Amino acid sequence: MSRAATIFLLTLSVLFSAASAAEWELVFSDEFDYAGLPDPNRWDYEVGFIRNQESQYYTKARKENARVEDGMLIIEAIKEKFPNPAYNPGSRARRPEFAEYTSASLITLGKASWRYGRVQVRAKLPTGRGTWPAIWMLGTNMRQVGWPTCGEIDIMENVGFDPNRIHANIHTQDYNHVKGTGKGRNIEVDKPYEKFHVYAIEWFEDRIDFFIDDNKYFTFKNEGTGNAVWPYDKEHYLILNLAIGGSWGAQKGIDDSIFPQKYYIDYVRVYKSK
């Protein structure tokens, strides 16, 4: 590349950074510049067997599954026999007495939630058949109105049997995978299990834009037809989780030889529009 071209590209980069700084104001962040358990002022946990027929038991405040070290959050999935304290042999849910895997799901519910803005997470993903890491959001009214009426924004999903493909999706009352009407897009990404990438959304009144490394690859627009299509005029909270198996993650089985698997998160930043 010529010197002139290099200078031009650097100038563009500086201008883009300046424009971004002018547009957004930081309102929440975790740089993981400490050690130990995730900051309890920012993060809570989902606990147990939660959804999607997944095989892992999500633990709470257990360093083996979620910890901060070397400037990063690490969510680690482990193959181990782990007792299910909620086991009930008479339950229709038929959850096992012992889990075969443990992992963690960190949430900001009750700590922080947002309506509109930019949400970005820099992460390196686990890999291998059976892994299902995600960065996503749910409406804070989920317990009152249920899913998918509350709205779901999948900033990043990846399944280990297709390791170089990243998925962005939204789920609403009218548009969701159960009905076969889901809206989203997937894109090839260079070795996201070896390299860090920045996964982000920019969320406005009229649309949600999805990015990888500032490359916009999907937009979902507000059709102006009400909550069944656009529940995104209400606050949502953030979820960082590493699932094992489940309705999607286990479509090609679980390879037990891959464990343990680590999901590295360098930072989480949320901005509001100035």
**The two three-digit tokens of residue 273, written as one number:** 């529009």
Active site residue 205: no
Q: H helices within the chain, ranges in order?
A: 3-23, 142-145, 246-249
- Report the C-alpha dihedral over residues 8, 12, 13, 18, rounded to 10 degrees: 140
**The two three-digit tokens of residue 137, written as one number:** 């959001």
> Phi-psi bin for 148: left (phi > 0), alpha (psi -120 to 50), beta?
alpha
Please identify which of the residues 54, 76, 152, 202 carries the catalytic annotation: 152
CA distance 235 to 116: 8
Contact of 168 with 186, CB cutoff 8 Å: yes
CA distance 192 to 194: 5
Please identify which of the residues 31, 69, 97, 157 carries the catalytic annotation: 157
Q: Which residues have a Cβ under 8 Å from the Cβ of 151 and sit 6 or more positions away?
A: 138, 139, 170, 171, 172, 231, 232, 234, 236
Active site residue 157: yes
Backbone torsions φ then ψ of 240, nearest 5 degrees: -120, 115
Question: What positions carry a catalytic annotation?
Answer: 152, 157
